[in-house]
Structure 1
Amino acid sequence: MQRDTASDLVAFLAVAEAQSFTRAAAQLGVSQSALSQTLRNFETRLGVRLLTRTTRRVSPTEAGERLLQTLGPHFAEVDAALEAVGELRERPAGTIRLTATENAASHVLWPALARF
């Protein structure tokens, strides 16, 4: 999958779930016009409309609904996998080497390490 296609799919999913360009743009950290242009180009490239736009609401077309139902769960799995990987980053791991005198080790370090 090309990088553009992946970001286009993320944009589509955000708008379809939020049912609003304003909320989706805020969620993605882009302007409304940039998001609208991205989706317009994506629809042109696919040759099918994915969203029905009105002044008050955005909703998926039949093709958009099909894409949403097919890809939505997979993107949720990707988000869960990325979150799991992120948890590993937050947990310290590895070997720690301490250099101390015998007296400091027996009176300070060993009692402190015993708590872990």
Structure 2
Amino acid sequence: MSERYLSNRATSATAWPTTKPRRTASPPPCSPTGSRWTARYEYFTAGTDARLALNYRAKKVNLVPARKGTVKVVDGKPTNIVRVDSTPTLHRFVDETTSRQARLERQVDTGIQAYAFTFG
């Protein structure tokens, strides 16, 4: 299983964003979109109308959010709604039998903290 942390830590090889700009031909694998996100040492906090877009190749995709609210998988319209209750807890958003390459976008309630994505 691999991980991608949502953090302002430049020392982690898997942290995004880093303090050093990177040149790449493809978009970053995970990008906060929509309104402002506040980057903290161990998590991002969602502002109004916040979204997280993720390009991935995996069978399973999980997110570790915290605080009270909802995270909605959006594919033109909400397709899956996950209720978040306070403490950081792993929630599965993709559960396939074979690995696939895709883009996953989530709409995140204001104040939700996003810690990490994990992949299987």
Report if TM-score (shorter chain) is over 0.5: no
Q: Name the structure, 1 or 2, with higher relative contact order (CA <8 Å, separation 6+).
A: 2
Q: Pick the TM interval, shorter chain.
A: under 0.3
What is the TM-score of this pair, normalised by structure 2? Answer: 0.25
Larger proportion of strand = 2
What is the TM-score of this pair, normalised by structure 1? Answer: 0.26
Larger proportion of helix = 1
